[in-house]
């Protein structure tokens, strides 16, 4: 880690020795990256399994289309639990600190994912099997509801001010790495294992592997110091006594705009990762499931570069312009993408999914990593980011699977309805970018949300952004 001038360090870290600051910045990056990788490995793997495995193994034989809808319904249950996890752990994170909550959430999230790997199937346990799957999805979602928000806040509060966009985006390479690993593992399992063996025990192996990531994440997080911002809040006795009350009063505008910003990024991500696979491997299209899954793998590989790149660009040109580019790109990309998916050519489908994830989605994710924490005041930042992220995860990501699967079943796999759905999400996010002020370089010790700036501070921020 290169030397960081004291003047460029985050608020509250100016007096910290250089070696100590550099070491904690490295640990924060690694800690957040591994947590992100585990979360998105589990969720991407679950999405792949939902479309191609769980609909077969956890429901009685019968209507294949409705079994897929039911499987995506359980997939959506995890999203329903996320806002409650975000609310519960987010409030604790603003009262107890970022580090403590991140240790708890990685245990809960990873433990539930590991247990999915030992579940009985419908053949051996009947309806107990999908019930247990629902319970574990609830626990997985409850823990994940604060994991990503915590990682986002942790990095924003540790990162050098002038490079906050870039550094805040670095841990989110873990999202791409986790999704890439899930796509790679799934593709290899389906290609190398006979179908009977894969459906018998092969699908369990990726979930059981989550245990290894838990141990690595716990080791790193145990050595991490609390963020400089939270230390300053404790020092000056500015910890919020009632962060939930604050977020639903003064913080509500930020949460609403944050939800809007996430609709295209989150919804588009899950539509390209899971729903597109269900669409192109359906009886109407008939592509090979293992081959098309490489689109997710390639998209995540692109994201390893596009996420930090767009984070860096947001340091130079501002968070809002870069975010708006991603939203408009997805809006323009939607109809050509779903039409090309309907053509039924494997190479084209792989390319469409890869560009959708790697460029359209991740052009928003890069600047989002610093934008969301900068939108909220210090006293309720963890909770604000968690609420914006997780309510949008239900409205966008959770509904993307179950509603999309239902639309496929009701319209006999008509691509136009899916394109309209994704275009709607992109239009919402594009509109939301006109509601948020530029936040680049904002002082994270401020207790006021960016959407509640005084006129004087707003003028100052605009002048600073123009320089």
The token duo for 139 is: 């626990």
Place 428 in a pLDDT band, splitting at 50, 70 and 90. very high
Per-domain residue ranges for the chain?
26-466
Q: Are 289 and 277 a contacting pair, CB within 8 Å?
A: yes
CATH level 2 (architecture), domain 26-466: Up-down Bundle (1.20)
**What torsion, rounded to 10 degrees, do the Cα atoms 216, 217, 220, 226 define?**
-170
Position 14 pLDDT exceeds 70:
no
- Measured CA to CA, the distance from residue 136 to residue 108 in angstroms comes to 10
pLDDT score recorded for residue 99: 83
Highest mean pLDDT among 28-32, 72-76, 383-387: 383-387
- Measured CA to CA, the distance from residue 415 to residue 433 in angstroms comes to 28
- Measured CA to CA, the distance from residue 80 to residue 305 in angstroms comes to 31
Residues 6+ apart with CB under 8 A from 43: 78, 144
Position 379 pLDDT exceeds 80:
yes
The token duo for 272 is: 């390209």
Position 463 pLDDT exceeds 90:
no
Helix (H) or strand (E) holding 348: helix 346-355
Q: Are 253 and 452 a contacting pair, CB within 8 Å?
A: yes
pLDDT score recorded for residue 454: 44
Taking alpha carbons only, the member of 289, 270, 287 closest to residue 55 is: 289
Place 460 in a pLDDT band, splitting at 50, 70 and 90. low
Q: Are 435 and 261 a contacting pair, CB within 8 Å?
A: no
The C-alpha angle with vertex 448 and arms to 446 and 451, in degrees rounded to 5, equals 125
Place 265 in a pLDDT band, splitting at 50, 70 and 90. very high
pLDDT score recorded for residue 455: 42
> What is the per-residue pLDDT across 200-252, written as a single tens digit (0 to 9) for each?
888 899 888 888 878 887 888 877 788 888 888 777 666 767 788 888 888 88
Highest mean pLDDT among 90-99, 100-109, 175-184, 302-311: 302-311
- Measured CA to CA, the distance from residue 59 to residue 71 in angstroms comes to 8
| Mean pLDDT confidence for 157-171 | 89
Residues 6+ apart with CB under 8 A from 293: 48, 183, 186, 187, 190, 277
Total-model pTM: 0.80
Q: Are 272 and 144 a contacting pair, CB within 8 Å?
A: no
> What is the per-residue pLDDT across 78-136, written as a single tens digit (0 to 9) for each?
778 888 988 898 888 888 888 888 888 888 888 888 899 899 988 888 889 889 988 99
The token duo for 243 is: 């962060």
Taking alpha carbons only, the member of 319, 227, 225 closest to residue 9 is: 227
The C-alpha angle with vertex 171 and arms to 170 and 176, in degrees rounded to 5, equals 95
Taking alpha carbons only, the member of 256, 259, 267, 257 closest to residue 420 is: 267
Compute CA distances 275 → 2, 427, 453, whole Å. Answer: 42, 20, 40
pLDDT score recorded for residue 348: 93
């Amino acid at each position: 880690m290169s030397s960081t001038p004291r003047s460029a360090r985050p608020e509250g870290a100016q007096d910290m020795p250089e070696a100590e600051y550099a070491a904690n910045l490295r640990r924060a990056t690694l800690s957040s990256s591994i947590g992100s990788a585990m979360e998105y490995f589990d969720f991407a793997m679950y999405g792949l399994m939902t479309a191609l495995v769980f609909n077969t193994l956890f429901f009685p034989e019968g209507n294949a289309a409705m079994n897929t809808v039911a499987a995506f319904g359980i997939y959506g249950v995890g999203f329903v639990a996320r806002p409650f996890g975000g609310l519960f752990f987010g409030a604790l994170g603003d009262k107890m600190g970022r580090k403590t909550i991140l240790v708890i959430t990685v245990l809960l999230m990873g433990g539930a994912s590991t247990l999915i790997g030992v579940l009985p199937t419908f053949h051996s346990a009947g309806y107990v099997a999908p019930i247990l799957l629902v319970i574990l999805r609830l626990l997985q979602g409850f823990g994940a509801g604060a994991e990503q928000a915590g990682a986002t806040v942790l990095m924003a509060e540790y990162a050098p001010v002038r490079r906050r966009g870039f550094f805040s985006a670095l841990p989110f390479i873990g999202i791409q790495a986790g999704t890439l690993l899930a796509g790679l593992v799934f593709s290899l399992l389906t290609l190398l294992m006979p179908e009977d063996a894969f459906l018998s025990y092969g699908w369990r192996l990726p979930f059981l592997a989550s245990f290894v990531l838990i141990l690595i994440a716990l080791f790193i997080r145990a050595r991490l110091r609390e963020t400089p911002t939270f230390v300053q809040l404790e020092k000056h006795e500015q910890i919020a006594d009632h962060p939930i009350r604050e977020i639903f009063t003064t913080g509500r505008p930020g949460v609403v705009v944050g939800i809007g910003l996430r609709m295209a990024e989150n919804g588009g991500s899950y539509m390209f990762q899971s729903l597109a696979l269900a669409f192109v491997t359906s009886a109407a299209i008939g592509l090979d499931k293992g081959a098309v899954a490489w689109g997710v793998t390639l998209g995540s590989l692109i994201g390893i570069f596009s996420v930090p790149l767009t984070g860096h660009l947001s340091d130079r040109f501002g968070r809002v312009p870069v975010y708006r580019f991603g939203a408009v790109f997805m809006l323009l990309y939607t109809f050509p993408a779903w039409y090309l998916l309907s053509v039924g050519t494997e190479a084209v489908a792989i390319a469409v999914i890869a560009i959708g994830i790697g460029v359209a989605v991740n052009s928003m994710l890069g600047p989002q990593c610093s934008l969301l924490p900068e939108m909220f005041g210090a006293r309720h930042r963890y909770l604000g980011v968690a609420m914006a992220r997780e309510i949008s995860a239900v409205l966008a990501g959770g509904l993307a699977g179950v509603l999309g699967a239902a639309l496929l079943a009701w319209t006999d796999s008509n691509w136009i309805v899916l394109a309209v759905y994704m275009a709607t999400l992109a239009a919402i996010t594009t509109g939301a970018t006109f509601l948020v002020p530029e936040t680049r370089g904002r002082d994270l010790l401020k207790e006021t949300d960016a959407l509640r700036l005084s006129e004087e501070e707003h003028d100052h921020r605009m002048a600073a952004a123009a320089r």
